Chain A
């Protein structure tokens, strides 16, 4: 069920009404039931898998909590890691591993007989697996109590706004909210609705509008000039951002309607001044997860290596971020590329600081944002293409004679420009707190109603209603 579809809207309306009509003690059950329905609508065959994962992790956490000795706790931890990662590898990476193994064997024998599996990826598996692993590690470390209620834990995993595409929630944020009694709040309803509307704007007006142009260019890249390719590459970054952050806004807004506050996933990443800064602002729930459960433990363990320990931790962490996105060489390369950029930034920090003192601050910041955007845009070619070879072809096509900029219709470009400008200005405004409306206007409910009504009307005028699925669903 896509967040921008009519079935989801009807589903949300029905669940919300029931939620506030039902007695408080039944609301969690309703949310679990609704989440199962939501998940089942996308692929009922994997309902049992997610239920198994819930029960398994619930009992493992209880086991860790009850075990007094470190050894017994470790057994539970490693068993949990093996099962969670095992399931993820089986569904997401096995065909990739076997395929590459077959290729490797093909170097030595003519027709290697390796059974190739083509499994459908259970929706949200990458998100809930990481969430569960984080929870188990927290319980193991003693920073989180094991959840006593299986109902609460089920809702922690299943809560439908974040089930399919995150954010990858932390137990310390969501579990206390699940335990707490929820009361009807008009503020939650209004703020949640505003957030959902903004998410719709990002997805329908910006991301899907850009997608029309970018898809058309990438599919026929061999027929386009360098200038058109460059524009498509630069726009794709905006598309991915608007698509994923739009999804997150809808998820956060939907959760807010039920009184839950999910963690933020973005903090104006396109205004990052370097790649490290970018990863602190982009898909925060994933990057902070990797920071807490991979980067910090590895760099701590390798602290005797000095800087090399940090480089090693960066390399492992970001390669895993790449692999998390999918089972292709492109995603692995994407991760490696990010780690190399971060290693470069770490090793040249002092030198860059020295240079920055010689250049006016605004010029330095502007150039830093530009270079970071360019780096991310070129790295994202690996997201858009299926193989490293095709990514190279795209890069090569930049050298084709520029020719005319391929623009199908002026109106399409106008819609695209307006959508992108609103998104960028909004990010810029909240990042630098540049200007705000006069108090009388900003706080007037009539003015606010008009503003949101116009936004909704603009979505109807300029939104792309057939854009389909969110990009991050595939991960």
Chain B
């Protein structure tokens, strides 16, 4: 695969640890590269206006600007794929309903941890397949 086809991913989560975990998952597939990180919705919006991004991995509960509001703004200004990565998204929460209404491309649970490599691998694989599907790589 040529470099030009690499999909650029922006990771948005207020937890540094979560960003590290997600970045590892993203890097595990050579079709994707981490083009940026943001620790809240506002920082993500700012970054999007100056960097070209193909896919956003978006957390919901964040300080300053939450994921729902960030998604609303992304939908107004950009044509970018967005996957919501949140434990809130899995259950039938208000937020899940709202992001669905706003037209999210995918919803996935947060990746599992360092303690159980097989669980981490399964959840990582789940995220990668969703990312490939959303960006039309499959």
Whether chain B is bound by chain A comes out as no
